[in-house]
Amino acid sequence: LHDRAQKLNLTEVFVSLRGDRPLSEQVYTALRDGILGGRLAPGAKLPSTRALAASLAVSRTTTQLAYDQLLAEGYLTARVGSGTFVAGDWSERPATAELQSLLAEGAATPQSDYAARLAEVRTRWRGVTRNTDAEIRFRLGVSDASLLASKTWARLIAACASDTSPAATDYGRTGGAPELRRAIAAYLEQARGVRCDSRQIVIVSGIQQGLGLVTRLLANPGDAALHEDPGYLGAATTFAAEGLRVVPVPIDDEGMALERVPEATLARVKLAYVTPSHQFPTGAVLSFPRRRALLAWAKSRGCFVFEDDYDSEFRFEGRPIESLYALDDSSTVIYAGTFSKTVFPALRIGYLVLPPSLADSVATAKWLAGFGNPSLEQRALARFIEDGHYGRHVRRCRVQYARRRDRLLREVLRRFGASIELCGERAGLHVLARFPALPATRIPALVEAAARESLEVQRADVFYSTPPAEAALLLGYASLDEDAIAEGVKRLARAVGSLA
Ligand SMILES: Cc1ncc(COP(=O)(O)O)c(C=O)c1O
């Protein structure tokens, strides 16, 4: 990043000159704020004082005074013969006290009911941690992007980028790029037994966005949504942000146990969120009788089922799990898939397969929320799928992740024996690791001990509405190679040992 910033050559910097403060002071303040805010990147080369003076229509003395002040304070460095550059990484500096208090004030005085609910959402996500400095990161929900055939991907991106025809550069079509919708429809039929017309598909910026759009369309504040317990925080907090009552449904070995939810709490349920192929985070598979019962229940209530099929591509044992969508004969299932786990999350492309009655309104909601996804990646992805690269990539990843999973299981058995119980290991990108002898009160100490070993681990209790009595972690293994997994488990064993 720094290398690229070094090459950044600013020929002009816009400075708004208003008010009655001296012009040199205004130029100084604008540049300083640009540096502190990260808009003027470290290493960027500034225009000469003469060029800046000309572009701002001020005297050269004005810009010279401003540069001198910034040089004296260390915001800029001058290299004789080559110019003036932004010094150091100022964007990493903590915010000034003034900015910090303004930010805090904003959070404390929400502008609307929605903003007030968002404040609560922020609090709930605090338990989901990233330890970017850790040497070994058992990252949750993140696959290994380095397995991507990056040359092929780059070639397709380049080919699509060089197309400047109106079809490629205009605002896109409602619902998403037609070629991507067609490619997904064909892929889903062949790989997941999901039969649909491409007009039922809406391209979204990941399942997370799709769930938000659907929730707003199907429910009003005060309505309710079923949520797995434990379950995906992105769903629980989407419902909470939209003002819905979240009804937790207990999870057992057969997935979501709707029959255990008291009837009285099911009033005004408009949407049921489920991860039937690989329950997040336990890995349970929704059993056939429960699938039938859920669909019949939803049909009788006129409510919709949101099937989040986020990592169904990675099943390592047994037969592939059929989708709920394929079992549904009354158009109650909204099927959601993502390329976040198979390609990479920064792509921000997912899709919804909608009952025909909803397709148009969801497409309109997506359209309104920013006129669709960027076309470049959609078109490149369509070709990636059509040309068969995607299918091959998924198969290659499945083999790799299965090996990594096997290694994790072996190492855990070796280092922990029976003091860890693993679940959800037959599929996906992580396992749930329970420590029966470690009470939940020790979780913060466990996470700290892991950090001392330079490990990133995710506590599992944040995904429960009523956290279990024993400590549990989620160990994402897909982004680590086998040696890192072995070393990580060894360190984890040391961390747990240090708590005794
Ligand atoms: C269960 C589950 N659903 C959905 C998502 C989000 O997917 P996307 O990146 O497509 O928004 C995640 C992300 O980790 C997830 O774990």
Instruction: List per-residue pLDDT tens for the chain, 500 residues long.
Output: 344 444 567 777 788 888 788 899 999 988 988 888 778 888 888 999 999 999 888 999 999 999 988 888 888 888 888 889 988 766 555 566 677 777 777 777 778 999 999 988 988 898 888 888 899 999 998 999 999 988 999 999 999 999 999 989 999 999 999 999 999 999 999 999 999 999 999 999 999 999 999 999 999 999 999 999 999 999 999 999 999 999 999 999 999 999 999 999 999 999 999 999 999 999 999 999 999 999 999 999 999 999 999 988 898 888 888 999 999 999 999 999 999 999 999 999 999 999 999 999 999 999 999 999 999 999 999 999 999 999 999 999 999 999 999 999 999 999 999 899 999 988 899 999 999 999 999 999 999 999 999 999 999 999 999 889 999 999 999 999 999 999 999 999 999 999 97
Q: Which of 348, 341, 334, 333 is nearest to 312 (CA)?
A: 341
Is 67 touching ligand 1 by the criterion CB < 6 Å?
Answer: no
What's the pLDDT score for residue 74? Answer: 82
Are the C-beta atoms of residues 141 and 476 closer than 8 Å to each other?
Answer: yes
> CA torsion 183→189→195→199, rounded to 10°?
0
Helix (H) or strand (E) holding 30: helix 23-36
* Probe residue for ligand 1, chosen from 215, 274, 280 as the CB with the greatest number of ligand atoms within 8 Å: 280
C-alpha 415 to ligand 1 mean position (Å) = 31
Q: What do you get for the CA distance between the two ends of the chain, in Å?
A: 43
* Probe residue for ligand 1, chosen from 312, 334, 340, 479 as the CB with the greatest number of ligand atoms within 8 Å: 340
Q: Pairing between strand 455-456 and 136-137?
A: parallel
- Interatomic CA distance for residues 138 and 140, integer angstroms: 6
- Interatomic CA distance for residues 17 and 62, integer angstroms: 12
What's the pLDDT score for residue 2? Answer: 41
* Probe residue for ligand 1, chosen from 207, 213, 233 as the CB with the greatest number of ligand atoms within 8 Å: 207
What's the pLDDT score for residue 318? Answer: 81
- Interatomic CA distance for residues 371 and 348, integer angstroms: 15
C-alpha 208 to ligand 1 mean position (Å) = 6
What's the pLDDT score for residue 21? Answer: 86
Is 256 touching ligand 1 by the criterion CB < 6 Å?
Answer: no
> Which residues are within 8 A (CB) of 89 and not within 5 positions of it... i.e. 6 or more apart?
42
What's the pLDDT score for residue 129? Answer: 81
Question: What are the backbone angles phi and psi of residue 132, rounded to the nearest 5°?
Answer: -65, -20
Are the C-beta atoms of residues 233 and 260 closer than 8 Å to each other?
Answer: no
C-alpha 142 to ligand 1 mean position (Å) = 10
| Ligand 1, atom nearest to 209 Cα | 11
| Ligand 1, atom nearest to 275 Cα | 1
Are the C-beta atoms of residues 249 and 257 closer than 8 Å to each other?
Answer: yes
Q: Rounded to two decimals, what is the model's pTM? A: 0.84
Q: Which of 12, 82, 71, 62 is nearest to 40 (CA)?
A: 12
Is 338 touching ligand 1 by the criterion CB < 6 Å?
Answer: yes
Single-letter amino acid code for the residue at 276: P
Single-letter amino acid code for the residue at 36: L
CB atoms under 10 Å from CB of 79, counted, come to 9
C-alpha 340 to ligand 1 mean position (Å) = 7
- Interatomic CA distance for residues 320 and 254, integer angstroms: 16
Greatest Cα pair distance in the chain = 80
Q: Which of 268, 265, 278 is nearest to 232 (CA)?
A: 278
Return the residue matching tokens 């989407």: 238
